[in-house]
Structure formats: C-alpha cells, structure tokens
Amino acid sequence: MLLGVDTGGTFTDFVLFKGDTLRFHKTLSTPDDPTRAILEGINAMGLDPGKLQVVHGSTVATNAILERKGVKTLFITNKGFEDMLFIGRQARKELYNLQPEQPLHLLKESDCLGVSGRVDVDGNIIQAFDTADLADIREKSEGYRAVACCTLFSFLNPAQENTVAKALPDDIFASLSHQILPEYREYERASTTFLNAYVGPLVEGYLSRLTDRLSARNLFVMHSAGGIMAVEQAGRQAVRLILSGPAGGLVAARQVGDQLDEERLMTFDMGGTSTDVALIEGNPGITIESSIADMPMAIPMLDIHTIGAGGGSIAWLDDAGMLQVGPDSAGASPGPACYGRGGEQVTVTDANLLLGRLPETARLAGSMDLDIDLARRAMARQARKMNMDCEALAEGILAIAEEKMAAALRVVSIQRGHDPRKFALTCFGGAGGLHACAIADKLGISRIVVPLASGAFSALGMIVGDRQGDFSRTHRLPLAETDSLSTAQAIYAELEAKASLEMPNMNLHFSRYADLSYQGQGFHLTLPFEEDLSALAGQYHAVHQKTYGHALDRAVEIITMRLVAVAKTAMIDMPEVGNTAGDISPCGHSTIHRIGKVPHYHRSELRLGHALNGPALMLEDTATLWLAPDWHLSVSPHGHLILGKS
C-alpha cells in the first residue's frame, strides 16, 4: 500500500493507492506537531503503518524560515567576507526610495566568523589554513546548534571547509557549501548553505520523530524539484524541501495532462493558507533562482509562484481604510470564524459560506461542520466598520482574493510571454474549485480541468513521483578548447558515481545538462548537454536569440555541469470511472446570493457521459466546485472534470 501525505498550513491530505483503488482523506493540521495530524489521519483511515510505504511532503522547513524559528546558526567564511550575507547583491526592491525598509536577517553580525586560508580560481591553495583558527572555531561554535561554512572556490578544492568541519563538536549540525551546492556565485552558495543549516536540525528531528512514531515499512520525502528522496538524505539536505508540498501538485498535474493529451497547463493550487501557481509546457519548469525570506536558494526547484491567498486568508482594513485580504491566515487553529474553533476574524471561507458557494450542509474534510451564524457575526463586525451590508463585504473579499490569484497567474504567463488563453487552467487544492471559473474569466481561459482528488491533489502527486537526485559542479570550460570535452566527460562521470553512491541499488537513468553563457556574460541558459561541442554552441546562439532577441559573435563556455539521476517508480494507473446511460439527479439545493436556487451533485456519482450546465455545486469530502453560470461540465474516463464556456 502506497500512501501520499501532504502537510499544509490548514489541512493535512492523504491519498492511499492499494491494488487498483484510490482513497482520499483530509484532516486539520496540527502546526505545533505535524506528526500528530499524520497519525490521526492514518488511524481514521484504519491503516496499519507497518504495511505502508509513505511519501511525505512537509512544510516544516518552509514555516521555520518564514516564521524565523530556525536554530541558532554560526556562519563561517573567509576573513574579510563575514558580512557576505548582509551585503548580498545590493539589489533593491525600491530603486528610488532613499530610506528603504531594511530586510530582517536570519542571523546577526556576531553570528559570523572569518577564518584564514584562501583558494584561488583554479582550486590552488594560495594561503594555508592557520591552525590557530581551530581554537576560535571550537570556542565560537559553543551555544550554536548548527554551522554553515562557505569559503571561496570550495567547489574546486574543499580542503578548507573540511578542516573547519573536523574542528566542530560531533553534536553540531554542519552544512558545508561544497556538499550542498558545489557551484560558483559565493553569495547564492552561502545563502543556500546557511538556510540548510538554519532548518536542518529541525527537519532532521521532525523526520526522526515521524519515522519512530509512524513505524512505516518505508518513508520517503518529496523534494522541491518534484522527485522523492530517502528520509535520511532529506534530513541532511533540508533546504531541498522548501517546496516539498506544492511540488506534488505539479507532478500529478503532468500525469493528468498526459491522460488528457493536454501539454499546456496552468496550475492553480489554492489551499487554506496560500495559493501556488505554475506553468507547464510538456514538463514543469525548473529554476535555480528562487528565494525565501529575502535569501536566494540556488538549488533546482520547480518554478512555482506562491502568494498568501487561501481559504483562511484574513480580511482586514489598512491605514487608509481600504479592504485587504491576506497574506495573514487563520490557519488550522483557530481557523476561519465558521469553523467554530475560536476564530473571530473574517476570512475567504467565511465569505464563500455567507454567499452560498459553500452550502451550510457542507462537511469540510468529510466531518467538520460549518457554522454560518459565526461567519455572519464576524462579517457583520467588519461590515459595520465600512458602513456596508454583510453580503456586499463578502463579495468584496472574494473579488480581492480572486484578483490577487489572477495576478499571480499573470506573473507565470503574460509576464513571461505566454498567452493564458492557450492553456487549460488545472485547478486543485481544497479551496481552488470555488474560484476557478471566476479566475478563468479574468484571464480569458475557456477550458478548466478539475482533476480527480482535487482537494488532496498534491498528496496524489507524491505517490506518482520518481526517485530523483540533482547533482552539479561548476567548472569553466570554453567550448572551443580541445580538451573541454574530455574534462566535461570526466566531471559527468564523477557526478554519476556520486549519484550511484547516494542512491544505491537503483536502476538510475542519467540526464546531462550544462549552464552555458557567452564569455564575460553574467547570466546563463541551461541546455541539454551533447558531446558535439560545436553543435552545442550553435544551440546556445539559437536559444539566446529566441530568449533575448539577439545573439552575440562571442565564444560560448560551460559554466556548470548538471546531472539529473532518476529511478522510475512503478506507474500508477488511475482507475476509470465507467460509463453511464442516464442523467444524474441532484442530491440537494441551496440558495446562492444574486443567483438563486442551485442544485448540488455528489462528484462521486459522476460517470463518463454525464454533462451538466451551471450554475451548480459539485460536492466531495475534500473540496467543493462552484460551476458558475455560462460554464458547463463533462467527465473524462478517469474521473477528471472538464469545464468549458457555454
């Protein structure tokens, strides 16, 4: 039995694959101890953990960074570079603001230590390490739970970092840049290494507790590039789990796209706390230019754009008296007012309930009642401040939230040169179906896919992901030089050996890539590597022309070699829903503001051949779909809902 578990800020989702059947479950998260919600969900499903293979997506690393609750971390680097993480690239968000707001750093200047020794650009030691610094390292590291060490050109010669590591106490978590990110650009490498140390002990401890308490047959973790990794490796490379949960949604979306012959998808994943959007053209995009808490992360990650807009997003008034929605969320505790768990601030979920898009009889997570009276009281308190009625305020809350989510989709489409009208909007997450039609209308999209298990879709992605590892090394190789090919082949061979060591006893398939640039250029493009270096240079010219509108008459060089090692998992065939010969009958009705009485349907009763016209509500245990007027619905063979404009 294969179980996917996605821990979100508000709900924890479960998808169980057994034989040829799928089961779904959802329970409220327990942010103080995420393992508790996982164990509660497994018990509620009546499962024996000892018979389970579990793939987990966790927000522990993400939340620790965003909430600035990581461990006390010492940063060690070369003397003279101690303020590297404070200076950064000197990129300013507000270019013309003479008094910009200073970013909040995750460490203090007193948390930085410079050591002697220097390696040059060719990896040669030009200044020996002073052994007197070892005593300083041991003394300074007292009182710290983790150490991040990043020295210049350690990816060419790691001797200095290894010397530092040997001087550290055995019980301290050590994060070395040549192991975490053996690439050039010392600021990005230092930042990524620091973040790994900052959350490493927390992730390692959490996964250790989960392993002990769960006692599953096997436990794996999804990483930010969309693959799964062993739990032991995840503890050492915690920074790779920043997008652990949202990555599952993109993995599953690609499989759904293959089933529907849809190559162009825009994914819209709206949960209780945040909304994640991405664009898929054949394969999900990968980026190494992400950031969190104003600190860059240069590891390969799925290109996902996240905003603070979810079902639990709180509506509030700014200093000018204007209505705002999010990014703060009511989360799982106390949750929206309608949860009846002590929440008093009005949220997007309360607005949906008050307007009828969520029927009063709905049971979130299959069992949790909603209290419309509590939602109305919270809405009335806010409405009085604005001298308006409750329904008008609720409409305003939804309009603002939907515009924010549409704007996020414009970032990954229009701002990158893509026409959203050429894509199908793939909508999932517990709250996504309530807003899919409105957002599609804003972007001119005429086709929506609401996949099977849309409310627990990221958990579904976890059980269809491959074992995957990403490896890289910076080594400058001009393509025109005669020995560049042999050097590149030797480095790729070393990366493959490293992959085989870290992913033992697996049938690995390797894909080689290279970061290329013109000589002297500060940016690069990543292309599949091929041994005909002349042809590779020609490809770079062509891609550069397509990307930037011009190509240069200048030599091309490899900056970084990348290797993706994949061990394919057994394909999971989603069961088909079967055909139907008749119409489907409503299971109930309710009134929606400004529209009137609309029918309800149970999604579990839909079969191939069923077709419905809006307005209507589609109900299931993990999500609710609002089929707006002027939209119609049909069913795919695997149970995915296809929405189109009437």
pLDDT band with cut points at 50, 70 and 90 for residue 390:
very high
Summary mean pLDDT of the chain:
93
pLDDT band at 571 (very low <50, low <70, confident <90, very high): low
pLDDT in tens, 139-164: 999 999 999 999 999 999 999 999 99
- Per-position DSSP letters for 15-65, written without gaps between them: EEEETTEEEEEEEE--TT-HHHHHHHHHHHTT--GGG-EEEEE--HHHHHH
Chain centroid offset of residue 431 CA: 17
Give the pLDDT of residue 339. Answer: 93
**pLDDT(363) > 90:** no
Token readout for 97 is 């603001």
Q: Whose structure tokens read 């997570």?
A: 365
In the predicted structure, residue 100 carries a pLDDT above the cut 90: no
What is the mean pLDDT of the segment spanning 341-364?
92
Q: Which pTM value belongs to this model? A: 0.90
Q: What is the pLDDT of residue 74?
A: 98
Rg of the chain in Å (alpha carbons) = 26
pLDDT, mean of residues 236-256: 92
At residue 168 the predicted structure's pLDDT band, cuts being 50, 70 and 90, is very high
Burial class, 594, CB count within 10 angstroms (exposed 0-12 / middle 13-18 / buried 19+): exposed
pLDDT, average across residues 418-446: 96
How far is residue 587's CA from residue 604's CA, in Å, rounded to a whole number? 12
Where does 467-567 sit in CATH, by number?
3.30.1490
Query: Is 521 a residue whose pLDDT tops 70?
Result: yes
User: DSSP assignment, residue 646?
Assistant: -
Region 70-93: mean pLDDT is 93
The pLDDT value given to residue 366? 67
Per-residue pLDDT at 104 exceeds 90:
no
Q: Model confidence over 181-222: pLDDT tens digits?
A: 999 999 999 999 999 999 999 999 999 999 999 888 889 999
* Per-residue pLDDT reduced to its tens digit, 260-316: 999 999 999 998 888 999 999 988 989 998 998 889 999 999 999 998 889 999 999
Q: What pLDDT is attached to residue 581? A: 60
Q: Residue ranges of the domains in the chain?
A: 73-201, 467-567, 588-645
- Which pLDDT score, from 0 to 100, does residue 574 have? 73
- Can you give the pLDDT at residue 453? 86
